[in-house]
Structure formats: C-alpha cells, structure tokens
C-alpha cells in the first residue's frame, strides 16, 4: 500500500473537494424544500393539507433520507477525514443518487404515476434514497481507507524506530567490546607497572585511562538514550532524586529536594537524566568559595516547597535544588553558571568544556528529554548559577493529594 504525501500547494480538485460537504448539505435542504413545495403547489386544500394522511406519507418518503444527507454532509465537514478523501465520497454520493434515480425513471416509464405531483414526488424520493445510501457508503469507505493508511504509517514508523534502535545497539556493542577490551588490557598492564615503580607520568596515564573508561560509559549511555520510548510508568521524582543523589559522588555539595511530582516517564532514562545533571553541577558548578575538607554529603529534604531558586544564600559550598514548575520540574544550583552565549551549545553532541574534555553528560540529558517529547531550557538561577527547566512533562493523574511520594523509593 502506498501513502501519498501532499504538499502545501492546493490543486483545483482539492479546492472543489473542500466545498463538497456544503454541496451535499445543500442537496438535502433542496430535497426538503422540493417535497414540501411540490405537495402544496398541487394541493387545493392549502394549509389544512398538513393534517391529511397524504401529506404525512409524502413527507415520510423523503424527509428521513434528506435528513441523512444533511447530517452526513455536516459530519463530513467536521470529521477527521482529509479533503483528499472527499473525492471518493462524492463519487459514491453522485453514483448512488444518479443510479437509483435512473432505475426509478425506468420504473416510471413502465408504470406511470398518474399525475405530475406523484411523478415529481417519486423522483424526489429516488434522489433522497439513492443520495443518502451512496453518501453513507462513501463515508464508510473513506473511513476504512483512512484507518488503513494510518495503520500503514504507524507500521512504517515502528519499523524505522526499530531499525534506528538496532543501529544504536550495534554501535553500543562495538563500543563496549572493541574499545573497552583493549582499554582493560592497557589498564591492567599499567597497574602492574605501577606496582613495580610508580611515577608522576604513570599516574597521569592512569588518570587518562580512567577518563577514557568514563567516556566509554557515557558514550554507551548516549547511544542508548536515543532509543524511542515505547512504554512509560508513574515515577515519583522525589524518591528518584533521593536515589540518584546517593549514586553520584557529590563531595560537600548540598541537595535541596523540593519536588512532590509524580510523572509518566521511563524510570531508567530519567535516572540517567538526574545523575548526569547532578554530576555536571558538581564537576563544573564550583562557587569559588566552597571548601574541600572531606567527602561528607550535606543533604536537606524539606516537606514544604519554598520559592523557586531560593537556594542557600551565603553557603560556602555548592547547593543543588530540584523543584516543581508548571508543566515540569527544574534543577538549579548556585555555582558559577553558564554564559548566555553557550547555554544552547552545552546540550549539543561533542561540546567541549573549557578544560578540553568532551561534555557528553548534557548531550545525554538532551537525548533523554527528546525521547520523552519534553523540552529543556538552560537559564540562570537567582544566585547566578545554572537552572535546567524540563517542561511539557505529563503528570500522573492516578495520585491526588498534597503528598504524592511513593512509599517505596526507587532503588538504584
């Protein structure tokens, strides 16, 4: 089955098709006026003729079918059928109307009605029945074709998604095997050499090896984050944030978790999003005055939600806040911030930080946001740090009340 793509140019047949619903409704109204006018024109009783059985029979023979034509034309103009389907509906309508009228004209020729009024009434009846039948058949066919085209489009889209995911999986497999294995061999040999004799040069090489291992892990995450999400579930952001915070080395950074939202998302993908944003803030969000005395983590978790970006003013360390906004959530810090001219670029693949390292963490975040059909904006927090706003997020409607936290935290 072929799917025809239309352009913005409107051809003459398309322009005429757009007016088809109004024309069909016009035929229905003309049939109503025709049967009423025909009866009163040939009737000698005047207005009291409406009280006769003859009038009722004449109306019942045409009015229901004319009403079907009027309602059908109205429905056609307000339905989800595209104007490209109108042509088939019009063919069915004209074919039914003309075919049934021709059949009845042959019957009139064989068995004359006896009077002009009955002949006209018979013709109006034939037009109403044939037109309404053809219209209904055309609408049913158009809907069937539309459903088939939509099903084919979705099938092709699913196949494209599957092919894309397969390519990403192949890439991930190459990275995991062909790059990680030689790196493991080199790292092992380096460790053996350091056991015999250690030096500043070997330490630098070991640091570079560790950096390469991190880049491989992030590259794998970046590839897999591009998979289209097919299924989501209700995720308690507050519980997930708590779990992600414990999984990321944060030093003396303080977390203020103020979110109470429950959203529809892929929990694994959302976990990567928070972990990468936390890691990015800790690695690049120095306040310039925070101390590095130990590895203890200061953590604050409040039940009420203060004003957005109301981070700890005067704190000597970095503070990260997660909170709710209309249509989504945000992650903000009081660190050094990102210059306005670089806020869009930091989300791109291959963006290089000031220290010369490739920044894949935020590219992973961007992929995860796109996979969920969300939006992300990078702005400045009130304290001059960085604020990431994720919007167009679907909230889970199954939970009500002020406290929407899950009783069981999401485990790492």
Would you say 24 and 79 are in contact if contact means Cβ atoms under 8 Å apart?
Answer: no
Asked whether residue 312 carries a pLDDT value surpassing 80, the answer given is no
Of 42-56, 66-80, 176-190, 198-212, which gets the smallest average pLDDT?
A: 42-56
CATH 3.30.565.10 maps onto the chain at: 232-391
Which whole number is the average pLDDT over 110-125?
Answer: 77
Q: Pick the more confident residue, 194 or 409.
A: 194
pLDDT in tens, 244-263: 999 888 888 999 999 999 99
Residue 177 CA neighbour count, 13 Å, CB half: 6
- Provide the 10 A C-beta neighbour count for residue 278: 25
pLDDT in tens, 367-395: 889 888 899 999 999 888 999 999 999 88
Q: Chain-wide mean pLDDT for the chain?
A: 75
Q: What's the CA gap between 8 and 257, in Å, rounded?
A: 49
Which residue, among 69, 44, 66, 67, has the nearest Cα to 54 in the 3D structure?
44
Quote the Cα angle for 156-158-163, to 5°.
Answer: 95
Instruction: pLDDT band for 239, please (50, 70, 90 cuts).
Output: very high
Q: What's the CA gap between 334 and 315, in Å, rounded?
A: 9
Q: What's the CA gap between 31 and 75, in Å, rounded?
A: 18
Long-range Cβ pairs for the range 150-153 (8 Å, 24+): 152/1, 152/3, 153/3
Asked whether residue 298 carries a pLDDT value surpassing 50, the answer given is no
Q: What is the pLDDT of residue 201?
A: 82
From its phi and psi, is residue 156 left (phi > 0), alpha (psi between -120 and 50) or beta? alpha
Q: What's the CA gap between 298 and 252, in Å, rounded?
A: 6
Would you say 88 and 139 are in contact if contact means Cβ atoms under 8 Å apart?
Answer: no
Q: Pick the more confident residue, 223 or 241.
A: 241
Which whole number is the average pLDDT over 104-122?
Answer: 77
Instruction: pLDDT band for 284, please (50, 70, 90 cuts).
Output: confident
Q: Give pTM, 2 decimals.
A: 0.49
Q: What's the CA gap between 134 and 136, in Å, rounded?
A: 6
Q: What's the CA gap between 259 and 139, in Å, rounded?
A: 50
Spelled out in words, what is the top-level CATH class assigned to the domain 232-391? alpha beta
Instruction: pLDDT band for 265, please (50, 70, 90 cuts).
Output: very high
Which whole number is the average pLDDT over 287-312?
Answer: 40
Q: Do β-strands 254-257 and 298-300 pair in parallel, antiparallel, or remain unpaired? A: parallel
Which residue, among 159, 139, 141, 162, has the nearest Cα to 151 in the 3D structure?
159
Q: What is the pLDDT of residue 243?
A: 93
Instruction: pLDDT band for 314, please (50, 70, 90 cuts).
Output: very low
Q: In degrees to the nearest 10, what's the CA dihedral of 130, 132, 133, 136?
A: 150
Q: Do β-strands 319-325 and 254-257 pair in parallel, antiparallel, or remain unpaired? A: parallel
Asked whether residue 34 carries a pLDDT value surpassing 70, the answer given is yes
Would you say 62 and 128 are in contact if contact means Cβ atoms under 8 Å apart?
Answer: yes
Q: What's the CA gap between 337 and 309, in Å, rounded?
A: 13
Q: What are 386's strand-pairing partners?
A: 380
Asked whether residue 352 carries a pLDDT value surpassing 70, the answer given is no
Residue 355 is given by DSSP the state T
Q: What's the CA gap between 369 and 389, in Å, rounded?
A: 11
Backbone φ and ψ for 266, nearest 5 degrees, come out as: -85, 115
Backbone φ and ψ for 270, nearest 5 degrees, come out as: -65, -35
Q: What are 66's strand-pairing partners?
A: none
Q: What's the CA gap between 258 and 255, in Å, rounded?
A: 9
Helix residue spans in 79-115 (DSSP H): 86-110
Q: What's the CA gap between 154 and 176, in Å, rounded?
A: 32
């Amino acid at each position: 089955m072929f799917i025809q793509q239309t352009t913005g140019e409107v051809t003459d047949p398309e322009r005429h098709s757009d007016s088809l619903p109004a024309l069909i409704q016009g035929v229905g109204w003309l049939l109503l006026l025709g049967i009423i006018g025909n009866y009163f024109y040939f009737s000698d009783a005047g207005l009291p003729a409406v009280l006769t059985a003859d009038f009722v029979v004449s109306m019942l023979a045409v009015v229901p079918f004319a009403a079907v034509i009027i309602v059908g034309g109205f429905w056609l103009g307000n339905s989800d059928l595209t104007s490209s389907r109108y042509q088939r509906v019009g063919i069915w309508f004209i074919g039914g109307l003309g075919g049934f009228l021709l059949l009845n004209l042959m019957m009139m020729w064989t068995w004359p009605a006896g009077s002009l009024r009955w002949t006209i009434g018979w013709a109006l009846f034939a037009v109403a029945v044939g037109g309404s039948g053809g219209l209904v058949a055309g609408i049913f066919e158009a809907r069937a074709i539309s459903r088939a085209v939509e099903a084919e489009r979705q099938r092709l889209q699913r196949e494209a998604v599957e092919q894309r995911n397969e390519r990403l999986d192949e890439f991930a497999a190459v990275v995991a095997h062909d790059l990680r294995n030689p790196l493991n061999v080199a790292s092992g040999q380096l460790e053996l050499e350091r056991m015999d004799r250690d030096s500043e040069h070997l330490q630098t090489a070991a640091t570079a090896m560790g950096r390469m291992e991190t880049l491989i892990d992030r590259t794998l995450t970046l590839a897999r984050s591009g998979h289209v999400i097919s299924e989501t579930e209700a995720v308690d952001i507050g519980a997930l944030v708590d779990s992600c915070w414990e999984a990321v080395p944060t030093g003396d950074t303080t977390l203020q978790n103020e979110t109470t939202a429950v959203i529809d998302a892929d929990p694994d993908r959302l976990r990567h999003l928070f972990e990468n944003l936390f890691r990015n803030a800790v690695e690049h969000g120095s306040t310039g005055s925070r101390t590095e005395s130990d590895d203890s983590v200061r953590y604050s978790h409040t039940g009420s939600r203060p004003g957005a970006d109301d981070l700890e003013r005067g704190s000597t360390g970095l503070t990260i806040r997660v909170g709710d906004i209309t249509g989504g959530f945000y992650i903000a810090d009081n660190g050094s911030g990102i210059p306005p001219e670089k806020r869009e670029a930091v989300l791109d693949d291959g963006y290089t930080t000031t220290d010369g390292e490739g920044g894949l963490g935020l590219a992973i975040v961007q992929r995860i946001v796109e996979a969920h059909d969300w939006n992300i904006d990078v702005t400045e927090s009130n304290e001059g740090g960085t604020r990431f706003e994720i919007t167009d997020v679907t909230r889970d409607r199954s939970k009500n009340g002020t406290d929407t936290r899950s009783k069981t935290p999401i485990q790492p």
